[in-house]
Structure 1
């Protein structure tokens, strides 16, 4: 895990990917600008599944089951509420320019602490289409394997590079965390990682229990409930 971004390998199982791909062949897509904020409409040039499409509803169930079963996602995001996924399609010439996500989304509204992109296309099948995130003076690029996900705080400017050839499919969602501050989530994540190692080595050691106690007390102190 980097300071701000988490790559979740194989978030989707192979059989889940196959089922989603089958559903995508039946889905109807609309202009992505329909769900963009006023500022984002100027830079959003993609397609997305109609929210009322039967295929979309089935894909939502598969994706929600996958994230519920992902220990890494749940440890890192500490989710309180999750926005419905938007399934997007980028074909040749499509892109999503530099933008920052809306601070509140949905009805009822949730605070967008984190965003997550689940990649639904093999990277070798399309040219371009990288997810770029501006982290201070550093530009971070993601183009992982099909079924992988990238989780990142919403305060960063980000974009999807123009597709030169092929087709890029992805599912995007936003998460309200039980811990609002990214720095605090980072500390809790790191403590959890260290505790996991200690637990494997000495599950009943005083140090292992003390670290778990520290993690629990900090989570209790910072929890936004």
Structure 2
């Protein structure tokens, strides 16, 4: 995969309505409660209370189903384990300063190869609140449509700009990939894209079959299971 992947319409309108209804009935607490020591100093948001187990389970089930059904997520992330999503809320004056995510999370622990932000608010309803990634290729800002997601490697410094008006709600999760190396994931992602184009033109052509074989053999060679 490239440095980041924008996934349009990961969540559709019906799913977003269900999630909005669940969130409207939930209690939120200080986001610092789940931050690592370094992140506590720069984290200034609210997070859906972990005690709201029924609501969280329903939201997580909807998101998990959407991830399972997203071809783009599956070929880009090659997911092995997915951390249960957290729901964050940013009102005016809230932000999340520059930080790097913890390399290992959860119990049982997973390695955080990739992070994903799923945007749950219409961008026209709030000012600020951009997800900002600092990569080797420059600094990139994201404020996509409601229901869209951004997937990115965890080694990048990133932040959420201060919200100046309105409210930004998002789901955040982390993924342990079946292929640990970002470079190898990118090669597999690119091969998959080329195969899809060849398959559309000539699904039974020898070159189409050979590329699929090459992709499968590389995945087998690099899989970290």
Once the two structures are superposed, the pairs formed by residues 1-225 of structure 1 within 5 Å of their partners are 3-53=2-52, 54-136=54-136, 138-225=138-225
Q: Structure 1: how far apart are the matches of 2:39 and 2:83? A: 18
Q: Structure 2: how far apart are the matches of 1:110 and 1:88? A: 21
Q: Structure 2: how far apart are the matches of 1:199 and 1:133? A: 34
Q: Structure 1: how far apart are the matches of 2:166 and 2:22? A: 19
Q: Structure 2: how far apart are the matches of 1:42 and 1:136? A: 25
Maintained 8 Å contact 1:51/1:57 = no
Distance 1:137 1:66, change over 3 A: closer
Q: Structure 2: how far apart are the matches of 1:57 and 1:43? A: 28
The number of aligned residues is 224
Q: Structure 1: how far apart are the matches of 2:32 and 2:81? A: 24
> Structure 2 unaligned runs (5+)?
none
Structure 1 vs Structure 2 CA RMSD: 0.8
What is the deviation of 1:137?
A: 5.6
Q: Structure 1: how far apart are the matches of 2:18 and 2:85? A: 16
* Secondary structure class of the residue paired with 1:170: strand
Q: Deviations over 1:1-53 (max 9, x none)?
A: 7x310000000011000100111110100100000000000000000001220
What is the deviation of 1:58?
A: 1.0
Q: Deviations over 1:44-102 (max 9, x none)?
A: 00000012202222111111111111110011000000001010000000000000000
* Secondary structure class of the residue paired with 1:197: helix
Give the ranges of 4+ consecutive aligned residues of structure 1 lying more than 3 Å apart after TM superposition: none
* Secondary structure class of the residue paired with 2:101: coil
TM-score by length of 2: 0.98
Q: Structure 2: how far apart are the matches of 1:105 and 1:112? A: 7
What is the deviation of 1:190?
A: 0.5
TM-score by length of 1: 0.98
* Secondary structure class of the residue paired with 2:10: coil
Q: Structure 2: how far apart are the matches of 1:188 and 1:51? A: 36
